[in-house]
Amino acid sequence: MEEKRDIRRLTLQQIKEAFTTANMQAFRAKQVYEWLWKKGARTFSEMTNLSIETRQWLEENFTFFQVNILSQQTSSDGTIKLAFKLHDGAVVEGVLIPTETRMTACVSSQVGCSLSCAFCATGFLKRQRNLEPSEIYDQVWLIDKLAKETYQIPLSNIVFMGMGEPLLNYNNVLAGIDRITSPDGLGMSPQRITVSTAGVAKMIKKLADDNVRFNLALSLHAANNTKRSAIMPINDSNPLEDLIEALNYFYAKTKNRITLEYAVMNDTNDGIEEADELVRFAKKVPCKVNLIEYNAIDLADFKSSGEDKIVKFAQYIDSKGIIVNIRRSRGKDIDAACGQLANKNQE
Q: What's the one-letter identity of residue 242? A: D
Q: Give the max Cα distance, the chain.
A: 71
User: Cα angle vertex 82, ends 324, 158, to 5°?
Assistant: 40
Q: Give, rounded to a whole angstrom, the gap between the first and last alpha carbons of the chain.
A: 36
Q: What's the one-letter identity of residue 163? A: M
Label residue 197 exposed, middle or buried (CB < 10 Å: 0-12, 13-18, 19+).
buried
Does 117 qualify as catalytic in the annotation? no
State the catalytic residue, choosing from 17, 106, 338, 347.
338
State the catalytic residue, choosing from 93, 132, 135, 293.
93
Which own/partner pairs from 311-319 qualify as long-range (CB within 8 Å, at least 24 positions apart)? Answer: 313/264, 313/270, 313/275, 316/272, 316/275, 316/276, 316/279, 317/275, 317/278, 317/279, 317/282, 317/289, 317/291
* 312 membership: H or E segment, kind and range: helix 307-319
* Pairwise CA distance, residues 217 & 14, whole Å: 35
Q: Which residues of 309-340 are buried (b: 16+ CB within 10 A; e: fewer)?
A: ebeebbebbeeeebebeeeebbbbebbbbbbb
* Pairwise CA distance, residues 69 & 138, whole Å: 10
Do 346 and 71 touch, CB atoms closer than 8 A?
Answer: yes
- The DSSP call for residue 298 is T
Does 338 qualify as catalytic in the annotation? yes
Packing angle, helices 12-21 and 28-37, rounded to 10 = 140
| Residues designated as active site | 93, 338
